[in-house]
Amino acid sequence: MVVGFAAAVLVGTLLLWLPPMTLEPGGTSFIDALFTATSAVCVTGLTVVDTELHWSPLGHVVIMLLIQLGGLGIMIFASLIGLVLARKMSVRSRLNTAAEAKAVGYDDVRGLVRGIVLISFAIEGLTWMFLFPRLLFGYDYSPADAAWHALFHSVSSFNNAGFALYTNNMIDFVADPFICIPMCAAIILGGLGFPVIMQLRKEFTRPLHWSMNTKIVLWGTLVLLVVGTVYLAIAEWDNDGTFGPLSPGAKLLAAFFMSTQTRTAGFNSIDVGQMHDESWVVMDVLMFIGGGPAGTAGGIKVTTFAVLFFILMTEFRGEGAVNIFGKRLSRAVHRQAITVALVAVGAVMTATILLMHLTKLDLDLVAFEAVSAFATVGLSTGITGDLPPSAEIILVLLMFLGRIGPLTLGSAIALRDRRILYELPKERPAIG
């Protein structure tokens, strides 16, 4: 997975480095091309140049293809190519694909790949069908422009990428539910993860058959969306730089839209740099948690956060086993969740300290940028374009680690089962 994503980033960088990819003659710098390619492949959305004014239409196409490639997953895409060309898959390909998609078994990986690709294109197509007529008739776009903008933002939405073809992102559409709601729906579906979507497609009317993973992701998504919407609405209601000038209905829509973006999508319908500090802190937490596993979202994942929460509640109650939705949680999952969370915290903290040394910016700004990069969100307070090249490299590594790290680490931990034929004597250190 690491080699596959790195190769995609390298190819994307070399393509975006070519002069025809930019509107201005002479092309772009290698660092900016690397940053943009990494942001697209890792479906982040952070940008160091103006996406609308810097890149040519050909550059926009390359960015969209990189987003689609990163959202589907390198192993899944490679398996799809193998099925199309060779009509078969090696055992190694099946194992890698199943690991990336968090599949329980390895028997029907072909069906898994087809299902993921069809679901992705179906949701993107449905989103396009809502956006296209609105742009065509509501904003007087030409048919070609409306079709292209609808396609780009449909792909960017479902893949939780956050790239927009507008200098101010989606601020011009802040009060338009016909644009914001379809995009939010695509973002939420992409953030659920393919295992959840595929199970809901088969057993939507039989919730008793839903797996623990599906229940955790659905409930976690609902709770975090509601909490984020309510908090942002209250915190920013009278802020003249964000929600203040809007009507009450538009304020609620903007709160819901921005809460959805913390699911690792990264679009913004208001100026994030004008938000209150306390709003940034809550958004840091929501971004860090992220969406569902094996989807287009980032973060440590809702399931990891939920497992840690239930472990905490079990310890408070003094119980021995962690029970979730009538099922006992495997003790191996305890260690996996703690490992992923601690690695994520360590990565964000290390990057934040390095960025503070390199930029001399305030902690709240730098921490927001670091969390957004690691969680592959793409929201920014506006400092990304002014960062020095050394800080850009830190964010590139953080985006790559955020997309690959938890995924690869979680898969490696889950698949590793080394039996030890002896146990050492027990001893308990003092805790707390």
pLDDT in tens, the chain (432 residues): 777 888 999 999 999 999 999 998 888 999 999 999 999 999 999 999 999 999 999 999 999 999 998 888 766 765 555 555 555 655 555 556 665 555 555 556 677 778 888 889 999 999 999 999 999 999 999 999 999 999 999 999 999 999 999 999 999 999 999 999 999 999 999 999 888 888 888 888 888 888 898 999 999 999 999 999 999 999 999 999 999 999 999 999 999 999 999 988 899 999 999 999 999 999 999 999 999 887 788 899 999 999 999 999 998 988 888 888 888 888 878 888 888 899 899 999 999 999 999 998 999 999 999 999 999 999 999 999 889 999 999 999 999 988 887 656 555 555 555 677 788 888 878 877
Residue 131 to residues 41, 85, 156: CA-CA distances in angstroms?
24, 34, 13
Residues 369-393, buried b or exposed e (16+ Cβ, 10 A)? bbbbbbbbbbbbbebbeebeeebbb
Encoded amino acid at 395, one letter? L
- Give which of 5, 46, 38, 41 is closest to 372, Cα–Cα: 46
Is the separation of the CB atoms in 84 and 198 below 8 Å? no
SS3 417: coil
170: DSSP letter: T
Compute the distance between CA of residue 156 and CA of residue 164 in angstroms, rounded to an integer.
8
Q: How far is Cα 27 from Cα 55, in angstroms, rounded to an integer? A: 9
Picking from 297, 311, 309, the residue whose alpha carbon sits closest to that of residue 375 is 297
Candidates 345, 325, 321; CA nearest to 334 is 321
Strand partners, 323: 328
- What length is written for the chain? 432
Question: CA–CA separation, 40 vs 161, rounded Å?
Answer: 7
**CA–CA distance, 407 with 307 (Å, rounded to integer):** 16
CA distances, 240 to each of 219, 229, 268, 283, 368 (Å): 33, 18, 16, 19, 21
Among 187, 198, 196, smallest CA distance to 225 is for 187
Q: Which residues pair with 102 in a beta bridge?
A: none
- Three-state secondary-structure class, residue 298: coil
Q: In angstroms, rounded to a whole number, what is the distance separating the alpha carbons of residues 187 and 264?
A: 9
pTM equals 0.89
